[in-house]
Amino acid sequence: MPSLLTALDCGRHIHLIIGSNPLASARCAKSIEVGAKPKIIAPADADVHYVLAKRIEDGEVEWIQDGFKDDHLTTLGRDEVDNVVDAVFVTSGGKSALSTHISTLCRRKRIPVNVVDTPNLCTFTLLSTHSDGPLQIGITTSGKGCKLASRIRREIASYLPTNLGAAIERLGTVRRRIWEEDHKTYQADESTAEVEDDDPPAQRPTFNRLVSEDDHDAARTRRMRWLSQVCEYWSLKRLASITDADIDTILRSYTSSSDPVPSLGTSRRPEPQIILAGSGPGSPSLLTVATHRAIQTASVILADKLVPAPVLDLIPRRTPVHIARKFPGNAEAAQEELLSLGLEALRKGHTVLRLKQGDPYVYGRGAEEYAFFREKGYLPIVLPGITSALSAPLFAGIPATHRSVADQVLICTGTGRKGAAPDPPPYISTQTVVFLMALHRLSSLVDALTGAGASAEVTKSDREARHWPGETPCAVIERASCPDQRVIRSTLKHVCAAIEEEGSRPPGLLVVGWSCEVLTDLKGKGRWVVEDGFTGFDGIDPGLDNLKQLVNGPELDAASSEEPSSDLLALKPVLMHI
């Protein structure tokens, strides 16, 4: 289990440090640094590390000249917490009887305890930290390598520009001044006050509503977004060298609620922009960099229902999002609603991202939307996405083409206009056919392909010429690239029974053709085989957390260390509220 990383306010806390060796001395130094008051427990005749001795002499550290006694835990602390100490550090002895005893006592009394070199006696561990003013970075290797933790810390620290801490301080000032100014201007009401926070704990219930120009709340949100963009897109080096003059320009560049989002340093009304982008089949790792950037910079996002939650998770929390309300019978109305919301937002000067699943021009109605916005005077930017039609077979180990097996690929829909079945493609033995939107009417599709439903007049040779043999291998691939991806390998003869028995896990598609057999041999394995789970990126995927890092700035892996320090980055969870 990973640990919960937190940043503790230790002001005026009492830290009980058992021992007087160099480690005890280092612990005391750290406690003093974070505003706590250290008290050491060591017998009167103990060797006291010389730095510690000096601190005792100077009155920074109190020395209780005694061996450890149980009641030290509940008598040496602050009055306001009934004299219970705030944390205990055992600096020698490791897994000795005394350490075990202290650890047990502390656990019972809920006092955080750390025992040197003995992770199982600790209820908390210290991080290897780098501090630069308000910036603190903490590293842990979860007890796997304290030396390594400190090496990683040094490397990360050396990568950071000097003066970053001071720059953070300055930007904090900007943020506070914007906040104060907004407060003054709008006298925010109770219900909206929390949005000023750069990182509000929850998106407000109105997030799904488009903002209007005279909407003060929205104006505030835009300014904060702009500040975030400065933080996001200026290089760290540039940020670190931010000057008072820069800050003044930034602050001057917006003055009233009707001001548009200022660009970096100049006051410019943004051009309305519509971006049609594909979000890939499911995994956020399959987003293009261009689409990822569009997700970060758009001021309004209109997403398809099929866009997977992990991709939606990447949307900055303050960006208003509308998810298409598509359900059977409502598709047309939902589409129109999205288009008119998009248009409305464009007319207000927004950068609108129309986020579509897979590729926007593969059964995505992308071109219809392109034509719609173009006709209204807004020429869309179109960003491709990885289509499920080609990536799902790949993730199922099916090459769309393969020398001497498949020299062509056909992508079809299983659902024709008004829900009718489209004509099945004729049999071509060297073709891989991918059917999207086909699983809800799989049996009629398979019947049409194999000629099972053909009328009696069709001659046998006709049938053989046009129709796909029942033994043609095929696969149903569902939720491709998602952790719950499922592949059912079968043949046209048995695939319907397989789906009936296994149930469905939308969205999914059907791949038909001899290419299904190129990398998988199903002989002797029964009528169908089910493969659950997605391992496509094992070993190379940076993981969603790293993508989130791009969104929210660095979040460092952490948990324990030998370093005489504490405190760490508070993690920012990314949550979408839909």
Contact set for ligand SAH, span 286-315 (CB under 6 A)? none
CA-based nearest residue to 444, from 484, 499, 395: 499
Shortest spacing between CB 280 and ligand SAH, in angstroms: 8
Environment class of 465 (CB within 10 Å of its CB; exposed 0-12, middle 13-18, buried 19+): exposed
Per rule CB under 6 A, is residue 195 in the interface with ligand SAH? no
Cα distance between residue 102 and residue 114, in whole Å: 10
> H-type helices in 316-365, by residue range?
331-347
CA-based nearest residue to 257, from 348, 174, 206, 186: 186
- Residue among 227 and 477 whose Cβ is closer to ligand SAH: 477
Assigned token pair, 335: 């589409």
Per rule CB under 6 A, is residue 392 in the interface with ligand SAH? yes
Per rule CB under 6 A, is residue 358 in the interface with ligand SAH? yes
Of the candidates 116, 436, 445, 556, which one interacts with ligand SAH according to CB under 6 A? 436
Cα distance between residue 220 and residue 537, in whole Å: 40
- Residue among 38 and 364 whose Cβ is closer to ligand SAH: 364
Instruction: Give the angle subtended at the CA of 557 by the CAs of 555 and 560, to the nearest 5°.
Output: 135
Contact set for ligand SAH, span 34-53 (CB under 6 A)? none
Per rule CB under 6 A, is residue 427 in the interface with ligand SAH? no
Per rule CB under 6 A, is residue 387 in the interface with ligand SAH? yes
Cα distance between residue 366 and residue 279, in whole Å: 13
Can you tell me whether residue 278 is helix, strand or coil?
A: strand
- Residue among 29 and 496 whose Cβ is closer to ligand SAH: 496
Shortest spacing between CB 383 and ligand SAH, in angstroms: 13
Shortest spacing between CB 319 and ligand SAH, in angstroms: 22
Per rule CB under 6 A, is residue 410 in the interface with ligand SAH? no
Per-residue x/- marks for ligand SAH, 508-527, CB under 6 A?
Answer: xx------------------
Contacts of 76 (CB under 8 A, 6+ apart): 14, 16, 39, 64, 83, 85
Cα distance between residue 300 and residue 288, in whole Å: 19
Contacts of 449 (CB under 8 A, 6+ apart): 424, 425, 467, 468, 492, 512
Shortest spacing between CB 328 and ligand SAH, in angstroms: 13
Of the candidates 264, 437, 452, 544, which one interacts with ligand SAH according to CB under 6 A? 437
Q: In which residue are the tokens 């090459």 written?
A: 399
Per rule CB under 6 A, is residue 89 in the interface with ligand SAH? no
Shortest spacing between CB 386 and ligand SAH, in angstroms: 8
Q: In which residue are the tokens 């028995």 written?
A: 501
Per-residue x/- marks for ligand SAH, 467-496, CB under 6 A?
Answer: ----------xxxxx---------------
**With CB under 6 A as the contact rule, which of the stretches 87-95, 196-204, 261-269, 505-513 interacts with ligand SAH?**
505-513
Per rule CB under 6 A, is residue 507 in the interface with ligand SAH? yes
- Residue among 261 and 312 whose Cβ is closer to ligand SAH: 312
CB atoms near residue 143 (< 10 Å): 17
Shortest spacing between CB 427 and ligand SAH, in angstroms: 22
Assigned token pair, 286: 């399959």
Contacts with ligand SAH by CB under 6 A lie at 281-282, 357-359, 362-364, 387-389, 392, 436-437, 477-481, 507-509
